Amino acid sequence: MAAKRRLTRLAAHVVLMIVSLGVLLPIYWVVVSAISPMSAIFSSTLHLFPTVFHWNNFVRAWKSQPFGLYFFNSLFTNFAIVFIQLITSCLAAYAFVFIPFPGSKAFFFIILMAMMVPLQATFIPIYLMLSQVHFINTYQGLIVPFVGSAFGIFLLRQGFVSIPKEVIAAARIDGASEFRILWSMVAPNAKPALITLALLNFVWHYNSLFWPLVATNSTDVRVLPVALSYFLSQEGGSNLQWNLMMAADIFTIIPVVLIFIFGQRFIVKGIASSAVKG
């Protein structure tokens, strides 16, 4: 039996290694293309390793557009969205778990239904409403549509359910306000779920292209995904510099890679602690 288990474990590791190679191969090809000349990319001979290292491709890609401004726009709007969503999701999840009110299950069901509605189905009325208050092509237009999150409420609600209600009742007897209970007792005990929500939301909005493409039309508020799409159109046709495009892709994904490297243990713990309950 022990030999059979070892063989099964070995086979599983082999399969995972093959899958990992399949996932890493496109990333490796992006890196190789980013430091190669155009002639090597379109060569009829396959080069798994660059023969000449063109590190200046990163400098040329950075200078091709104001990427410093685009990085600021992306980071500023994403941090604002994450911060506001943490507040609104915490308040809503706390109410659903610890403050009984008529129709709470129906309201929570409606929130679950909202998770199934894609942005593409609602962007026209959202765009019209924001245009009436002159939020189009502004930071507000990138932030306001996402101040509330059905997924955030669901995730934190599932995390809050694991906290004993007897502890909350004891805190109320001692005279603690609802905000004090949320800040001092509930939030610290649901830290994995909060960190998971922050990381997943940041990555999702950092990679978002559809709404920023619709809601912005000038360089001042353009974010990185939109900048990359314009990079293609500006360099389009026969003049498309694929090595510069790949270089721009690499320094664009660095924040996401760093987030997953340093936050993966919180994501795993948060999702495990927020498994479907209640």
**pTM for the full model?**
0.83
Q: Cβ contacts of residue 3 below 8 Å, gap of 6+? A: none
Confidence of residue 83 (pLDDT cuts 50, 70, 90): very high
pLDDT at 268: 63
Q: 119 in the Ramachandran plot: left (φ > 0), alpha (ψ -120 to 50) or beta?
A: alpha
pLDDT at 271: 60
Q: Which residue would you say has higher pLDDT here, 94 or 118?
A: 94
pLDDT at 31 over 80: yes
CA angle 192, 196, 199 (to 5 degrees): 140
Q: Cβ contacts of residue 232 below 8 Å, gap of 6+? A: 240, 245
Give me 64's structure tokens: 């091709």
Average pLDDT of the residues in 64-84:
92
Confidence of residue 4 (pLDDT cuts 50, 70, 90): confident
Average pLDDT of the residues in 127-148:
91
Confidence of residue 237 (pLDDT cuts 50, 70, 90): very low
CA distance 242 to 225: 16
